[in-house]
Structures are given as C-alpha cells and as structure tokens.
Amino acid sequence: MPVRAVYKIRIVSRHTPLGAPPPAPILATPEELWLKARKKDIRPALNRAVGLGLFAGWLIIVQAWLLARVVAGVIIEHQTLGEVWVYLAAMLPIFALRFVLMRASENVAFEAAAQVRRDLRERLYAHLQTLGPLWLTRQSTGDLANNVVTGIDALEAYYARYLPNMSLTALVPLSILVFVLPQDWISGLVLLGTAPLIPIFMILIGKGTESLNQQQWQLLTRMSARFLDSLQGLTTLKLFGVSRHEAEVVAALTEDYRIGTMKVLRVAFLSSVVLEFLSTVSIAMVAVFIGFRLFYGEMAFFNGFFVLLLAPEFYLPLRNMGTFYHARMEAIGAAQGLLKLLDTPVPPHARATGGTQRIDGDAVQIRFDAVTVRHADDLPPALDGVSFTAPPRGLTALVGASGAGKSTALHALMALVQPQSGQILVNDIPLDALDLADWLRQVAWVPQRPHVFEGTVRDNIALGQPQVPQEEVERAARAAQAHDFIAALPQSYDTPLGERGLGLSGGQVQRLALARALLKPAPLVLLDEATAQLDAHTQLQVGDVILELAHQRCVILAAHRLSTVLRADHVVVLEAGKVVEQGTPADLLARGGAFAALVRAHEHAPAMSGEMA
C-alpha cells in the first residue's frame, strides 16, 4: 500500500463500526503523521535527549535558589563573603554541568535526526531503484535532487530540535511551577494562567504560515529543477539564441521565491514579536505582584527573588518553541515531496526481483520467445511478439529505424522492463527466475549515452572492479582505442574526471564505456549504438574488437553502423516493435527485403558517415 494511503485511512475515513466511539477530530496533516511515525525508530535517543535537557532544567532551579540565597544573605541578612562562599562555589560546577548536559542533549538529538535522514535516504534510494532507470530518465533531475538532498536535510531540525523541545516545553515549566507554588501561590497562578497564551498564539500564527511554507517549498523545487535543467542544457540554449530568455525565466522564479521568502519571514518575525511581548508582559506581571508585596512586607525577599529569577526560565522554553515551530512547518513542506516520491507506484513493466536461480558456467545463450513489452497501457507495444536466439558465442545485431524496439530489447535483457507476455530464456532458464544481482554480474553494457562518474580515468574503466591490475585496465583501453588519448591526459590513467566526463568529447566518453565493458569478465555484452559517436576510422577499429570479442562471448548490439552489421553472425530486423525478418547478412541481402532496403538507403546516403537510419 502506498505510504500516504495508510494515513489517508486514518484521516478521512468516516465509517465507524456500530457501538464504537466517534472518531476524534484530526488536526494533524498526513505529512505530519508520517513525520511522527518515524519517531519510533529513534524514540530511545529522543528520550535520552529529553532526559538530559530536563536534568539541565532542574539545575536552573538549583542555580536560581543558590543565587537567591547569596543575594538575600548579603543584602538582607548582611552576611559576609565568607558566610556565602559555599553557595557561590556550588554555582560554578552547576554552570559547567548545565553546559555539558545541554551539549549532550543536542548531540544525542542530532545523532537521532541523522539516523532518520540515513534511513530515509536508504529507503528512497531503494524505491528509486525499484522504479528503475527508465522511470528516472523521465523525471526532472533538479526536482529529484531537491527532494532527496535538500528535502531530507530539512527534516533535521524537526527531529533534532522541534520534537525534543516539545517535551521540554511541557516538562521544564511544570518542574519550575512545582517550586514556585510553595514559595508564592499568586505568582504561580499568574504563570499558570499566562503560559497557555503563548502556544495558543503560536498555533494561530503558525496555521497562517503553514500554507506559505508549503507553497515556498514547491516554488523552491520548481526553481531548483529549472535552474539545473538550464545549466545542463546551456549549450543548446546558446546555439538557439534563447539563453537570455531562459535567464529571465530563472530570474523571475528567483524573484517569486524572494517575495515568498519575505512573506514567510514577515509572519515569522510577527510571531516572534507576539511571543516575546506575551512573555515579557507575563514576567512584568509577576514582578509587579512581587514588588508590591515586598514593599508592604507581605513576602520574604528570598522567596520573591527566587520566584523572580525562575519566571524568565519558565517562559524560555515556550519562547524557544516559537522558533522551533517553524522547523516543523518547513519539515511538513519537505515531507510533501518525499511522500510523493515514496507513493509513486512501481510501473507495471518494472521487473520483480523474486528469482533465486543462478547461471552456471561462463557462456550464456539468449532466447526471446514471443516477448511483448508495453511501457504504458495506452501506447502501442515497444516489443510485439519478438522471437530470436543469440548463441553463446557470436555477434547478433538488432537493426531498424529509431523507435523500432532495439533499446527496449536490451533493457528487457537487463531486467529494466518486464515483458507483459512471452519470456526471455537464459540457457533455457526464464529470466524472471534468475537472481537479479547475480544476473547483472553476467552482463556488460555500453548505452547510447554512457555515464562517466566523478573520479579518475582508471576508476571509471575499472568500475566495480577496484582490485583489477593496471595492465588489464590498459589492455581494455587499448582494445577500445582509448589508450592514446588517455596517455595524453595530464596524469594519464590517474587524471581526475569531472561529472559526466567533463573535459572529454562524446567519442572519448564512449570509448571509456567500451573499455569498461571489455574489462568486465561477463559472458554477455550488450552494445547500444556503441560506435555512434566515433569517426569512421576509429569505428572500424572498434568494430574489429567487437568481432574478436564475439568469438569468446555472446554479443548483442543495437547496430547503426553498416560495416559492423554486415559482419554480424545473425541480424534481427525490427520494425514498430516486430521482427520483420532475421538471418545472416548474406541471406537477408539475397531476399531483397527490409534489410536490403536499409543497405540501399545507406549506399545512397554517403553523407551519413556510415550510419543507418
């Protein structure tokens, strides 16, 4: 069941069994209920943080008693310094102990908040993995990054400050009230009567800012997504001459965010002023009552001064709560985006990971048996009853126009999509029955747009194999025609690369990815337009490497290079997700069908640099 659905049942269900008491009014939002549900994992740590804070609060009472005793002794009883030095000396360790307890309380609370953030990130990462890379490619990178990074970070203050101080706001004033009432019941009644005004006004003001915070968070998400997308597509924007327009759009979003931030800050400052005013007036009332009774001799100085010292400390947790209440509202705004991600249903084509079988041996035979894949119910099938066999050793080429289903077939082999009908067999074992992690270890993959991670050249080639010898890394790079340009880099294989291969050309990135695939000892190699960004000479050299590799492994490639296709062992021609013909290149040319038409189209379009449509 989706995460949000659990709380919707609690909140909006109005159907109560006969004889059951009517449901209590629900004031909390689904986001806040979800935030509070995370407390159970860190409850012991939060209890320790509250306990340490409460102990520090009790020390405030002791500190006030000692100070009142010193002042009363010196001013009223005319005692000497020697007679009160014991009280003064006792105050020093109390100051130090209070400091230690408060720091310890904060550290415990922040560690608990860090645990929640770690657990949520792991849960989000696992859910995003379940949704799959294909789902991620259709999402806004900026939106995802804002939720997964900034959104989770925004929860820290909620768990580290708001929740512990919610308990301390009740416990510390009550503890102080226990000592104030015996000393001066009138001041105790003033404290008891005025204390509820602060949280009441805080809630009234907070209700007005809650929607503002949520709107502000949504605006921040939009602005982050737009800004990141603009940066990633800056080259395209420059080429089409719309970079200035995009800058104006980002500036307008930024201005909207500034205006929204000022609205929230105005309300926040208003709430601070109101809380400070209420607490100041309340303390003044206590001081006035104490002052008049001291003047008329109706109260002992020690009692009055002791109560007066405790009055500000009584309101301090309540005043602090106004600040921490804004952390709650920010967390609720962030929780909206997180819940939306966690509630995202797994696409129907996503692959279940319930298999347990493993592949034995170092060779695999792939067989597609009437495989049909739909990315959405209202769209035509990406693969429609596709059947073909790729031998354990040999080169199988999938050819066809863009959108014919070549990449989908490779995605299905990597279990990124789940067939709606038919099955994929690996050594006569259904792919669904295989252990997913073990199966992916048997696959090497070069996509259309390879990803280069931040790290050295060697790290990117030896991805997942950090202990592989340097000689093997260089051998794979030479085979992929990448060694020469790597050797020309400032630090050769130890040259650090930026995100997405910053500083490398598209062809160099593709050769790095090919070297990565060649280095991995996988019996199945999948190549999706692996030579599309290479020049004609380099692609011929790489084509020779692929053919040599096919003598030892099962190689399946989505082919756009005619020279590689004509040397394949088996060609599968796809059109609109269906296999229109298949066989050896010579047989298909002799038939004069779809494959022969592709060859003729290539021969009449020499400017296409060897690419097939």
- Rounded average pLDDT over 324-330: 76
Q: Which residue has the higher pLDDT, 572 or 449?
A: 572
**Could you give phi then psi for residue 593, rounded to 5 degrees?**
-95, -140
pLDDT tens digits for range 516-551: 888 888 899 998 877 776 777 777 777 788 888 888
Per-residue pLDDT at 201 exceeds 60: yes
pLDDT in tens, 86-110: 888 888 899 999 999 999 999 999 9
Q: How many residues does the chain have?
A: 613
What pLDDT, on a 0 to 100 scale, did the predictor assign at position 61? 92
Buried b (16+ CB within 10 A) or exposed e, 255-271: eebeebeeebeebbeeb
pLDDT at residue 27 greater than cutoff 90: no
Q: Is the pLDDT of residue 3 over 60?
A: no
pLDDT at position 521 is: 86
Tokens encoding 378: 């209202």
CA distance 510 to 134: 20
| Residue 212's pLDDT band (cuts 50, 70, 90) | low
Q: Which of 462, 598, 478, 472 is nearest to 538 (CA)?
A: 478
Tokens of 541: 């050299």
Please check the confidence at residue 452 and state whether its pLDDT lies above 50.
yes
pLDDT band at 18 (very low <50, low <70, confident <90, very high): very low
Q: In this predicted model, what pLDDT tens digit does every residue of 220-245 receive, in sequence order?
A: 777 777 777 777 677 777 777 777 88
Give how far Cα 607 sits from Cα of 539, 542, 560, 611, Å: 16, 21, 14, 9
18-32, 409-423, 489-503: least confident range? 18-32
Q: Coil, strand, or helix at residue 416?
A: coil
CA 550 to chain centre: 40
Q: Cβ distance 570 to 394 under 8 Å?
A: yes
Calpha distance 539→559 (Å, rounded)? 12
> Please, what's the b/e burial string for 274-295 (b: 16 or more CB within 10 A of its CB; e: otherwise)?
bbeebbeebbebbeebbeebbe
Alpha helices in 233-297 (DSSP H): 234-239, 243-295
One-letter identity of residue 118: R
Q: Determine the average pLDDT of the residues in 396-423.
A: 86
CA distances from 480 to 218, 239, 513, 529 (A): 46, 32, 9, 14
Distance, CA of 414 to chain centre: 24
For the chain, percent of residues with pLDDT exceeding 70: 86
Q: 451 or 563: which carries more pLDDT confidence? A: 451
Beta strands of 391-538 (E only): which ranges? 394-399, 421-426, 429-430, 443-446, 455-456, 496-497, 524-528
How far apart are the C-alpha atoms of 414 and 526, rounded to whole Å? 9
Note the pLDDT of residue 560: 63
Instruction: Check residue 20 and give its pLDDT.
Output: 37
Write the DSSP assignment of 365-403 as a string of letters. Answer: -EEEEEEEE-SSTTS--SEEEEEEEE-SSEEEEEE-STT
Instruction: Check residue 19 and give its pLDDT.
Output: 38
Tokens of 353: 């990971």
Confidence at residue 502, expressed as pLDDT on a 0 to 100 scale: 66
The CA dihedral of 535, 537, 539, 540, to the nearest 10 degrees, is 160
Q: Report d(CA 396, CA 68) in Å as an integer.
A: 91
How much of the chain, in percent, has pLDDT values that exceed 90?
Answer: 7
Report how far residue 75's alpha carbon sits from residue 202's, in angstroms, rounded to the nearest whole number.
40
β-bridge pairing 496-497 and 429-430: unpaired
Rounded to the nearest 5 degrees, what angle is found at the Cα of 187, between the Cα atoms of 182 and 190? 130
CA distance 359 to 216: 52
Burial class (CB in 10 A: 0-12, 13-18, 19+), 457: buried
Token couple for 395: 């080169």
* Residue 22 pLDDT > 50: no
Higher model confidence: residue 271 or residue 567? 567
pTM summary value: 0.66
Residue type, 38: R
CA gap 307, 187 in Å, rounded: 8
- pLDDT mean across residues, the chain: 80
- Please answer whether residues 298 and 290 qualify as being in contact, where contact means their C-beta atoms are separated by less than 8 angstroms: no
